[in-house]
Amino acid sequence: MTQDTMSLDMYVHGEWRAGSTGDVVEVINPAKGELLATVPNGSQEDLDAAIESAQEGFEVWRNTHPRVRGQIIYRIAETLKERAPEFAELYSLNSGGSIGTGMWTMNDVAGRRFEYYAGMADKIRGDSFVTPGQFLSYTLREPVGVTGHIVPWNGPLWIGSRTIAPALAAGNSVVVKPSSEAPITLLKFAEMAIECGLPPGVLNVVTGRGSGLGDLFTRHPGLDGIYFTGSTATGRRIMENSAGNPVRTVMELGGKSPNIVFADAGMEEALAGAILAIFANSGQICVAGSRLLVEESIHTEFVGRLAEMAKDITIGGPEAEALMGPVITARQKERVLDYIEQGKSVAELVAGGGTPSDPDLQAGFFVEPTIFDGVPNDASIAQEEIFGPVLSVSTFADQDEAIAMANDTQYGLASAVWTQNVMRAHQVAGELRAAQVYVNHYYTAAFEVSRSPYKASGHGVSEGPDAIFEFLNQKSVSIKTGEPPAW
Ligand code: NDP
């Protein structure tokens, strides 16, 4: 894997566009702690240009036959899969995940989403209602307009595709602001999408810092909808920003997801699932299973074995194909270590607790897989999203207590239940206040199924057939066909 420093511009109206001020953001390779690229720190002028471009793009795209829209989106899916190795490498260099994760992201997540929504482009339809002799009424489902997308660093395309693909299928134009920590894959993707036949202006990428360009973006009166994925704190700020231009918002925010293991669970599967749930991508996944709730009768054996397994977890840069890569920034590493220090004062540290000693990992932002046992449910490490490889383990006595502890959080993004009792699985799934419930697995939910977050994890529908409605306005048209009764 090469690492020459790149100098990238923004991508607006089918062209690379230098920033108007010359100010840049430095993008760091988290596995090496070295400069990877610079991108413009966009200004109001740059943003105005991107939104004007998207307004022009919208007029072309909404008037493009839906069948043709679907064909172009399908071509994007196919091209992304063909070029998956190149995009996987960019993802790994910039976000720190393994090449294998990058390949999966391009083929089975982002590629799959563009493929899925390509097929939906010409199946958007409304309803009709006849009042005999009075009215023929019908609905028109119309694209929202210029949609603004804000994407976190951990999966620029794996998460970006979740809103960009349905937005395009519904006939909207798109302006994306990627994280200034990981803007590269989305910039290159926008160029690729235009080469696949997307008209100029339909997909634009602006770069710059969240506090700064992000605030200007979410206050911009030219946006017709805001689709945000990121932390709850930033989501709150964006909703305040957008209050002056009260357009539709969809918010996919943070999580602190409970992973519940009952005594009747398949032990080996539950152990492997618990490890994957928190340590894959070093815990930097919104739905990571960061709170493990274990039934008292199996707790000692389960946690003992988990701590042993944590010692064998591989840690390394992208080429190592390790389960755990670096955390994204030096600042995030310090934040995670700070949470670990807090944990030491309230719970028992049974694995990890620091940084790896491997000399090759000293320059990058690596943290050991860390497990705390006996964590009180109100401790900060049990309640706050750490977004790092830190697992809090607590015990429960029975099903009611497990449900109560699982729901005792401000978040409601994901959850998991491990049990061989099918009745219990359904009962617990029904009681958990979370957008997703995994039963006897972790993470492998179908992208074809729609869901909505609970509580401080956000609002709006993501994935599957119903997500398309977040990108459509519904208009009713009533035609007089006779003499309606007098009022
Ligand atoms: P942040 O909330 O810090 O940033 C997310 C995005 O918002 C970035 O593009 C960031 O830009 C931008 N941003 C920051 N401040 C503003 C602002 N004032 N106005 C507009 N945009 C702004 O999250 P992270 O990038 O650290 O990602 C981790 C978080 O994302 C976790 O909380 C995680 O749970 C959540 N997440 C949620 C997912 C879900 O599906 N629910 C999926 C993945 C992650 P910049 O980086 O340039 O500051």
pLDDT digits (tens, 9 = 90+) for 252-277: 999 999 999 999 999 999 999 999 99
Q: Is residue 289 located within the same domain as residue 310? A: yes
Taking CA 379 as the corner, what is the angle to CA 264 and CA 349, rounded to the nearest 5 degrees? 70
293 touches 260 (CB < 8 A): yes
Mean model confidence pLDDT for the chain? 97
Q: Is 211 in the pocket of ligand 1 (CB under 6 A)?
A: yes
Nearest to 102 by CA among 231, 281, 249, 251: 281
* Three-class SS state of 39: strand
Q: Where are the alpha helices (DSSP H) in 253-348?
A: 267-279, 299-311, 330-344
Q: Is residue 222 located within the same domain as residue 266? A: no
- Using pLDDT thresholds of 50, 70 and 90, give the confidence band for residue 1: very low
Q: Is residue 190 located within the same domain as residue 219? A: yes
Tokens 């490889």 belong to residue: 389
Q: Is residue 286 located within the same domain as residue 392? A: yes
List 89, 181, 252, 295, catalytic entry: 252
Q: Which residues fall within 8 angstroms of residue 159, CB to CB, at 6 or more apart?
A: 151, 152, 229, 252
Q: Is residue 426 located within the same domain as residue 338? A: yes
Distance, in Å, from the CA atom of 289 to the CA atom of 252, rounded to the nearest integer, reads: 17
Flag whether 452 is in a domain.
no
Active-site annotation holds for 252: yes
- Which numbered atom of ligand 1 lies nearest the CA of 235? 2
298 touches 280 (CB < 8 A): no
pLDDT of residue 237 exceeding 60: yes
Distance, in Å, from the CA atom of 238 to the CA atom of 138, rounded to the nearest integer, reads: 35
80 touches 165 (CB < 8 A): no
Q: Which residues fall within 8 angstroms of residue 403, CB to CB, at 6 or more apart?
A: 428, 431, 432
CATH number of the domain residue 74 falls in: 3.40.605.10
Q: What is the pLDDT of residue 320?
A: 87
Distance, in Å, from the CA atom of 251 to the CA atom of 245, rounded to the nearest integer, reads: 16
Burial class (CB in 10 A: 0-12, 13-18, 19+), 422: exposed
Distances (CA, A) of 443 to 236, 395, 416: 26, 22, 9
pLDDT, mean of residues 378-391? 98
- Using pLDDT thresholds of 50, 70 and 90, give the confidence band for residue 486: confident
Nearest to 434 by CA among 286, 280, 236: 286
Q: Is 152 in the pocket of ligand 1 (CB under 6 A)?
A: yes
Distance, in Å, from the CA atom of 367 to the CA atom of 363, rounded to the nearest integer, reads: 12
Q: What is the pLDDT of residues 90-144, one digit of tens each?
A: 999 999 999 999 999 999 999 999 999 999 999 999 999 999 999 999 999 999 9
Å from CA of 234 to ligand 1 middle: 6
Distances (CA, A) of 487 to 105, 348, 479, 481: 58, 73, 17, 17
Q: Is residue 70 located within the same domain as residue 205? A: yes
Residue of 41, 159, 219, 231 to test ligand 1 pocket, by largest number of atoms within 8 Å of CB: 231
Q: What is the pLDDT of residues 273-331, one digit of tens each?
A: 999 999 999 999 999 999 999 999 999 999 999 999 999 999 999 888 899 999 999 99
Sheet containing 15-17: which strands, arranged edge to edge?
15-17, 10-12, 203-205, 173-177, 146-150, 225-229, 248-252, 458-459
- Using pLDDT thresholds of 50, 70 and 90, give the confidence band for residue 424: very high
List 89, 181, 196, 286, catalytic entry: 286
Flag whether 42 is in a domain.
yes
E strand residue ranges, 144-212: 146-150, 173-177, 203-205
Q: Is residue 58 located within the same domain as residue 191? A: yes
| Structure-block tokens of residue 160 | 């970006």
Distance, in Å, from the CA atom of 460 to the CA atom of 462, rounded to the nearest integer, reads: 7
Q: Where are the alpha helices (DSSP H) in 10-106?
A: 44-62, 66-82, 84-95, 99-104
Counting the structural domains of the chain, the total is 2
Å from CA of 331 to ligand 1 middle: 15
Q: Is residue 187 located within the same domain as residue 51? A: yes
| Structure-block tokens of residue 349 | 């540290």
Q: Is residue 272 located within the same domain as residue 397? A: yes
Flag whether 228 is in a domain.
yes
Q: Is residue 179 located within the same domain as residue 264? A: no
- Which numbered atom of ligand 1 lies nearest the CA of 458? 41
26 touches 38 (CB < 8 A): yes
Flag whether 86 is in a domain.
yes
Q: Is 262 in the pocket of ligand 1 (CB under 6 A)?
A: no
Sheet containing 34-40: which strands, arranged edge to edge?
6-7, 34-40, 24-29
pLDDT of residue 3 exceeding 60: no
462 bridge partner residues: 451
Distance, in Å, from the CA atom of 139 to the CA atom of 141, rounded to the nearest integer, reads: 6
Å from CA of 87 to ligand 1 middle: 21
Q: Is residue 180 located within the same domain as residue 276? A: no
Flag whether 433 is in a domain.
yes
Flag whether 483 is in a domain.
no
Residue of 163, 177, 234 to test ligand 1 pocket, by largest number of atoms within 8 Å of CB: 234
Global confidence as pTM: 0.96
Flag whether 445 is in a domain.
no
CA-nearest residue, atom 25 of ligand 1: 152
Quote the domain boundaries for residue 179.
6-253+457-474
451 touches 463 (CB < 8 A): yes
Q: What is the pLDDT of residues 26-84, one digit of tens each?
A: 999 999 999 999 999 999 999 999 999 999 999 999 999 999 999 999 999 999 999 99
Å from CA of 254 to ligand 1 middle: 9
Residue 92's identity, in one-letter code, is S
pLDDT of residue 389 exceeding 70: yes
Å from CA of 189 to ligand 1 middle: 19
Q: Is residue 179 located within the same domain as residue 81? A: yes
pLDDT of residue 412 exceeding 90: yes
Distance, in Å, from the CA atom of 171 to the CA atom of 149, rounded to the nearest integer, reads: 15
Flag whether 406 is in a domain.
yes
| Structure-block tokens of residue 417 | 């239940």
Active-site annotation holds for 196: no
